[in-house]
């Protein structure tokens, strides 16, 4: 369709030459879309300047200063490292060094390991599972034999898995065998997403193995009694303690004691099974993220301080089973009951246990989706 509009000679639209048109009229096509203005150079210019602004913003982020340390850790160590970091900073200063700036990051062990692999500049990792640190080693950030660099398999403290039951233990749960009874609800996080939950699973497996039960069958029955699979250990503790779901929580020993301390000793009891797992949460220096000799000195001192009497005393205080009780409050060191502890060696180490039990399509998956 063509419409004509009159316009004055001197206010002609830029692309419509007014000269030579009879009566100062020009035809303008409507209803036919013209390709819009597309000045490529100017779009490029705009793009480039926007990019430059973004890049400048990234570059302007503060560069790392000397004497900083980032410890990437897992969930339940929050309280321990808060206190340890302060103690270590004092110790470091007392050696004549300037005050260090130490930070800890906490989260699910697997997610934390992924963050380090993807470039989180942690000088030190203190995770729940050796297999998570193995993944970081596989990404080339630390040597494959990292676990032999520090004493006790690089585990300055250990823990185990115990049962947290409701006050008075109404369902009379005393050992792993009781957990598969009809009508007992067990709370444990998902072993696929929680490091602690893998220890739970392996502890149950070890008990069945020792007591002449078919472990695969036993663990399958156990998970049939699990009404909620939280993604992490703290979530499971909340489900059990705050939401009142379940009869028994399979928990890190340190989490169980913490729950008693924080939520009231009159609400829950700790039940220690006959057999459990020796959970070794290891620590390591991330070689790939060390940039200066000063940084290395600080990170090495940080890790070795975990093994010092002071560091060990703090681990005891935060309900971990540490090795050296010389400086610990005797009460802290004596609270742990004796029980038979099975190590990860029993399962052939993490390199074997991880894919066999928790890998895609592994034994844990088969509990829910039979092969």
Partner 1 sequence: MGKPLIYRSPMPGFGLSMGITLTMLSIIVLLPIGALLLKGASFGIGNIWETVNRDRVWGALLLSFRLSLLAALFNLVFGVLLAWVLVRYRFPGRRILDAAVDLPFALPTAVAGIALTALYAPNGAFGSIAAEAGWRIAYTQWGIFIALVFVGLPFVTRTVQPVVEEIEREVEEASATLGASRFHTLRHVILPMLTPAALTGFALALARAVGEYGSVIFIAGNIPLVTEIAPLLIVIQLEEFNYDAAAAIGIAMLLISFAMLLAINLIQVWSRRRIGHV
User: Residues interacting with partner 1, by CB under 8 A?
Assistant: 13-15, 34-39, 41-51, 54, 108, 110-111, 114, 135, 190, 192-193, 226-231, 235, 238, 242-245, 358-360, 365, 368-369
* Least gap, CB of 227 to partner 1 (angstroms): 6
* Least gap, CB of 108 to partner 1 (angstroms): 7
* Least gap, CB of 47 to partner 1 (angstroms): 4
Using the minimum distance from each CB to partner 1, give the nearer residue, 41 or 170.
41
Using the minimum distance from each CB to partner 1, give the nearer residue, 235 or 273.
235
CA angle 194, 196, 200 (to 5 degrees): 115
CA distances from 176 to 78, 84, 163, 238, 245 (A): 29, 34, 9, 22, 19
Using the minimum distance from each CB to partner 1, give the nearer residue, 42 or 261.
42
Euclidean distance between CA atoms 165 and 182, whole angstroms: 17
Euclidean distance between CA atoms 83 and 250, whole angstroms: 26
Using the minimum distance from each CB to partner 1, give the nearer residue, 163 or 364.
364
Q: Is 143 helix (H, G, I), strand (E, B) or coil?
A: coil
Using the minimum distance from each CB to partner 1, give the nearer residue, 48 or 351.
48
Using the minimum distance from each CB to partner 1, give the nearer residue, 44 or 90.
44
* Least gap, CB of 50 to partner 1 (angstroms): 4
* 124 closest CA partner among 146, 145, 139, 98: 146
* Least gap, CB of 53 to partner 1 (angstroms): 9
* 247 closest CA partner among 232, 230, 269, 229: 269
CA angle 139, 145, 147 (to 5 degrees): 100
* Least gap, CB of 228 to partner 1 (angstroms): 4
Q: Is 248 helix (H, G, I), strand (E, B) or coil?
A: strand
Using the minimum distance from each CB to partner 1, give the nearer residue, 195 or 282.
195
Q: What residue has token string 């850790």?
A: 73
* Least gap, CB of 91 to partner 1 (angstroms): 35
311 with 155: CB under 8 angstroms? no
Q: State how far Cα 105 lies from the chain centre.
A: 9
């Amino acid at each position: 369709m063509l419409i004509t509009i009159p316009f004055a000679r001197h206010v002609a639209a830029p692309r419509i030459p007014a000269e030579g048109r009879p009566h100062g009229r020009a035809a303008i096509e409507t209803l036919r879309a013209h390709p819009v203005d597309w000045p490529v150079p100017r779009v490029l210019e705009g793009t480039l300047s926007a990019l430059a602004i973004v890049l400048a913003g990234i570059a302007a982020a503060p560069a790392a200063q000397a004497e900083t340390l980032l410890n990437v850790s897992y969930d339940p160590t929050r309280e321990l490292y808060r206190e340890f970091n302060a103690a270590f900073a004092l110790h470091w200063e007392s050696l004549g060094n300037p005050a260090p700036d130490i930070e800890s990051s906490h989260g699910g062990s697997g997610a934390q390991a992924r963050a380090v692999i993807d470039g989180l500049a942690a000088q030190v990792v203190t995770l729940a599972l050796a297999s998570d640190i193995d993944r970081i080693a596989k990404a080339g950030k630390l040597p494959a034999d990292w676990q032999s660099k520090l004493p006790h398999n690089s585990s300055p403290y250990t823990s185990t898995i115990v049962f947290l039951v409701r006050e008075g233990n109404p369902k009379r749960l005393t050992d792993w065998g009781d957990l598969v009874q009809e009508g007992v609800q067990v709370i444990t996080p998902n072993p696929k997403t929680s490091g602690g939950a893998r220890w739970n699973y392996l502890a149950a497996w070890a008990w069945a193995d020792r007591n002449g039960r078919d472990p695969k069958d036993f663990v399958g029955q156990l998970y049939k009694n699990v009404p909620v699979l939280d993604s992490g250990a703290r979530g499971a503790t909340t489900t059990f303690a705050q939401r009142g779901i379940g009869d028994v929580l399979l928990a890190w020993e340190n989490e169980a004691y913490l729950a008693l301390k924080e939520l009231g000793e009159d609400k829950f009891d700790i039940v220690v099974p006959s057999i459990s797992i020796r959970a070794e949460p290891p620590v390591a220096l991330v070689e790939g993220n060390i940039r200066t000799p000063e940084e290395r000195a600080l990170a090495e001192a940080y890790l070795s301080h975990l093994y010092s009497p002071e560091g060990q005393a703090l681990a005891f205080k935060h309900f971990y089973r540490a090795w050296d009780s010389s400086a610990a409050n005797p009460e802290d060191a004596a609270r742990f009951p004796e029980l038979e502890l099975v190590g990860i060696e029993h399962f052939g180490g993490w390199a074997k246990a991880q894919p066999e039990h928790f890998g895609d399509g592994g034994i844990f998956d088969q509990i829910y989706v039979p092969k």
